[in-house]
Chain A
Amino acid sequence: METGTFRVKRGMAEMQKGGVIMDVMNAEQAKIAEAAGATAVMALERVPSDIRATGGVARMADPTILEEVMKVTTIPVMAKARIGHFVEAKVLEALGADYIDESEVLTPADEVFHIDKRDFTVPFVCGAKDLGEALRRIQEGAAMLRTKGEPGTGNIVEAVRHLRLINGQIRKVQNLSKDELYAEAKNLGVSYDLLLGVHESGKLPVVNFAAGGVATPSDAALMMHLGADGVFVGSGIFKSDNPEKFARAIVEATTHYQDYKLIAEVSKNLGTPMKGIEISKLDATQRMQDRGW
């Protein structure tokens, strides 16, 4: 009997496919998310849009929030640790978090090294905005990926950019000849073996979700069309007018992303989605996607 194998970690993410993982800040929101059909929840102290608004250093949530959420839900509970902050991650593992997000939404604790994720029994999800980042995180032991997007903006444009870029880079790697892979591995800053895997399979070796800016059912369906395996919704649900309805609508649009009549139906009378931010209005220090390397 072996726990914490890469297959067990990656398999857990496979079970999330086609699903929606929702940010929640307390037990009540967790119950709403589960009732709406979320496949997991992310327990947080503040959603990204509030982190933006408040400023200051964003850290791992108070453990009582995680405990409270784990108590009321039967679906997996994820939690965020700062980039490079392996002690926060160990604390989350000790608390029983089912998945740890080493997240750029929080203020990075290390500007050089990400967490050695192989050193954990629980699996990690990490953000990536290009293929190099994606494969570096996998090399470090991440068992699931997500686009970085631009969290807390309600603006899908960055998530689209990241997913399209990763897809394009994968196609390029597939078309390289084998002897060209060495140089490409150097260009991307990744291991040759991982790149060879992408060259042969034409896909990433782990599940890749969309995240960072999903605000409407159509946003979720768009990301599924672009090849995301599922969707993270952060501020989009509990910053909308009617979280319950929004949550259900996003779940259904993710399952039936090719059924436009259905998406039209679930999009009716949803009320106002979260107020968005135009990306060009963000100055460099406010761009979360530039955290990590």
Chain B
Amino acid sequence: MKIGVLALQGAVAEHIRSIEAAGGEAVAVKRVEQLDELDGLIIPGGESTTIGKLMRKYDFLDAIRQFSADGKPIFGTCAGLIVLAKRIEGQEEAHLELMDMTVARNAFGRQRESFETDLPVKGIDEPVRAVFIRAPLIKEVAPEVDVLSTYNGEIVTARQGHLLASSYHPELTDDYALHAYFLRMAKEAASVKR
């Protein structure tokens, strides 16, 4: 499976390393033409305002929406989760508006409130080591969105069909379970298409 990591800004190398460790092939994506050759796309952590601006500037919004419409899986972590959401609290405009959920940015507070913890995730055997950095939360989801994990009663991992989102950074640890999970999603999507 060939997975692209959107490389406009943020923690790109860590996702590439994690995908490769989980048995996939990974490339950094800087131009829309590169999307054609991919089986799945990761939108990494970074600053969602910066990533959102650069996506608009380089015509990624429509291209990624088409990528999603083709049934190809997308995984957003932290800023990537914000970019995927239909609604962002306190902002009129969202970005890709693909996942039917409302998210809150910086929901835990400032950097001093950032933390890591072991997090059970539905569909993954062992708890995932989850690193939350100025992390967002999923405040509301539509019925078709499956909640995969919560932290203190708040949603931090969710899946809607071929779309996956986490508030935290699985790519900052040596735990590749979530990347392996995403690779399985990409395999399933590819086999349906054939």
Q: Is the CB of B30 within 8 A of A256?
A: yes
- Given known pairs A15-B133, A37-B50, A40-B47, the reply for A8 and B116 (CB within 8 Å) is yes
Interface residue B9 (Cβ < 8 Å from any Cβ of A): yes
Interface residue B49 (Cβ < 8 Å from any Cβ of A): yes
Within 8 A of B (CB), among A1-33: 1-5, 7-8, 11-12, 14-19
Q: Is the CB of B54 within 8 A of A122?
A: no
Q: How large is the interface on B (under 10, 10 to 19, 20 to 34, 35 or more residues)?
A: 35 or more
Interface residue A141 (Cβ < 8 Å from any Cβ of B): no
Q: Is the CB of A11 within 8 A of B131?
A: yes
Mark each residue of chain A from 216 to 236: 1 if its CB lies under 8 Å from any CB of chain B, else 0: 000000000000000000000
Binds B, one of A93-101, A182-190, A275-283: A93-101
Q: Is the CB of A18 within 8 A of B9?
A: yes
Q: Is the CB of A14 within 8 A of B11?
A: yes
CB neighbours (8 Å) of B54 from chain A are 37, 251-252, 255
Q: Is the CB of B14 within 8 A of A14?
A: yes
- Given known pairs A2-B117, A15-B79, A17-B12, the reply for A34 and B111 (CB within 8 Å) is no
Mark each residue of chain A from 91 to 119: 1 if its CB lies under 8 Å from any CB of chain B, else 0: 00100111100000000000000000000
Q: Is the CB of B45 within 8 A of A15?
A: yes
Q: Is the CB of A19 within 8 A of B47?
A: yes
- Given known pairs A39-B9, A74-B105, A252-B57, the reply for A7 and B173 (CB within 8 Å) is yes
Q: Is the CB of B111 within 8 A of A98?
A: yes
Q: Which residues of B contact A (CB under 8 A)?
A: 7-14, 30, 45-47, 49-50, 53-54, 57, 78-79, 105-106, 110-117, 131-134, 169, 172-173
Residue contacts A-B, CB under 8 angstroms, 14 given: A1-B115, A3-B113, A7-B131, A8-B116, A8-B132, A12-B111, A16-B46, A16-B47, A17-B46, A19-B46, A39-B50, A40-B47, A75-B49, A252-B54
Q: Which 3 A-B pairs have the closest CB atoms?
A: A98-B111, A39-B47, A18-B9
Beyond the given A7-B173, A15-B46, please list 11 additional residue pairs across the A-B interface where CB-CB is below 8 A.
Answer: A14-B10, A14-B172, A15-B11, A17-B11, A18-B7, A18-B9, A19-B9, A19-B10, A39-B9, A96-B110, A252-B54
